[in-house]
């Protein structure tokens, strides 16, 4: 069913490495970017695009594709990195990231980028749109699945809980949501900004099939996606992904935690070297 045409023999770990590398290259071009988040979510994106989802790189609007909806638009740098690796966006466009007239703006928007299914950025929006798409797909009798990624900070938004409630009400078993719990939002650690734990218990109580994993453990991510797809109950599926900001670049992992990790001009090259060192270790 997976129609990904290129590189069937490439491991998911290698895909995640390349996604991280693409993101760092974009950060280097722009001199900034939400690189901490891109690095932490690369494993989840690798599994999404190279294990779980069906799509045709040459036809991003293929009707039978699975939909990937990025609610946290500032993670666009991460999704572009994955879309490039997936062959949906040409590798050479990477250099245009964040530049005038680029198809890769700093915050993800539906009309700009092939494979970008929604205009995110106004946080708390994505899950509601995903609910509508799941309802629409069911109306059409489609077998496609909607994957949606949002961030732990978005759990503060009431609209997220409106959507969580409605997804269970409508028994949306064609919805797989991933929440990136990197425990960092604009004003500080997410759980200190607003206490959203115990998240698994809450989501179970709201009628979701909920799994909580280390989002940087590739085997765990694969197992969670497989379980989400195979789950027999007519429930929406949530994968709570605990992740580490800056993952794969030790000096960024160790840097003081901040929503927008500061990277000095000379450090992008160092980060790429550190990423390569980890790959070859």
> Which spans of this chain sit near another protein (rule: CB under 8 A)?
109-111, 117-119, 121-122, 124-125, 127-137, 139-140, 142, 158-159, 162-163, 165-166, 169
Strand partners, 241: 180, 213
Distance, in Å, from the CA atom of 209 to the CA atom of 232, rounded to the nearest integer, reads 10
Spatial CA neighbour of 188 closest among 248, 260, 253: 260
For residue 51, the minimal CB distance to another protein (Å) is 24
For residue 98, the minimal CB distance to another protein (Å) is 19
Q: Is the peptide bond before 198 cis (omega within 30 degrees of 0)?
A: yes
For residue 272, the minimal CB distance to another protein (Å) is 34
Tokens encoding 101: 């007239």
For residue 132, the minimal CB distance to another protein (Å) is 2
For residue 260, the minimal CB distance to another protein (Å) is 22
In the bound state with another protein, the residue whose beta carbon lies nearer, of 139 and 266, is 139
Residues 6+ apart with CB under 8 A from 217: 43
In the bound state with another protein, the residue whose beta carbon lies nearer, of 82 and 167, is 167
State the CB neighbour count (10 A cutoff) for residue 164.
22
Distance, in Å, from the CA atom of 256 to the CA atom of 280, rounded to the nearest integer, reads 26
Q: Scanning the structure block, which residue is given the tokens 């609610």?
A: 71
């Amino acid at each position: 069913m997976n129609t990904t045409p290129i590189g069937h023999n490439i491991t998911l770990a290698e895909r995640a490495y390349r996604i991280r590398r693409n993101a760092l290259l974009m950060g280097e071009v722009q001199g900034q970017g939400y690189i901490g988040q891109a690095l932490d979510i690369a494993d989840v994106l690798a599994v999404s695009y190279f294990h779980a989802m069906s799509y045709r790189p040459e036809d991003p609007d293929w009707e039978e594709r699975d939909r990937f909806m990025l609610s946290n638009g500032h993670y666009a740098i991460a999704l572009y990195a994955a879309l490039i690796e997936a062959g949906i966006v040409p590798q050479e466009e990477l250099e245009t990231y964040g530049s005038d007239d680029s198809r890769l703006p700093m915050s993800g928007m539906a009309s700009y980028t092939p494979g970008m299914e929604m205009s995110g950025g106004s946080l708390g929006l994505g899950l509601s749109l995903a609910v509508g798409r799941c309802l629409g797909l069911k109306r059409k009798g489609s077998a496609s699945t909607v994957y949606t990624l949002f961030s732990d900070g978005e759990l503060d938004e009431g609209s997220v809980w409106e959507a969580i409630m409605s997804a269970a009400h409508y028994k949306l078993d064609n919805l797989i949501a991933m929440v990136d719990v990197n425990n960092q939002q604009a004003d500080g650690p997410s759980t200190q900004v607003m206490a959203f734990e115990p998240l698994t218990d809450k989501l179970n109580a709201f009628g979701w099939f909920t799994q909580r994993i280390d989002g940087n453990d590739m085997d765990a991510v694969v197992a969670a996606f497989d379980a989400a797809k195979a789950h027999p109950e007519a429930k929406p599926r949530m994968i709570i992904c605990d992740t580490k900001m800056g993952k794969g670049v030790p000096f960024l992992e160790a840097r003081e935690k901040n929503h927008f990790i500061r990277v000095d001009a000379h450090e992008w090259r160092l980060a790429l070297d550190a990423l390569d060192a980890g790959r070859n270790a």
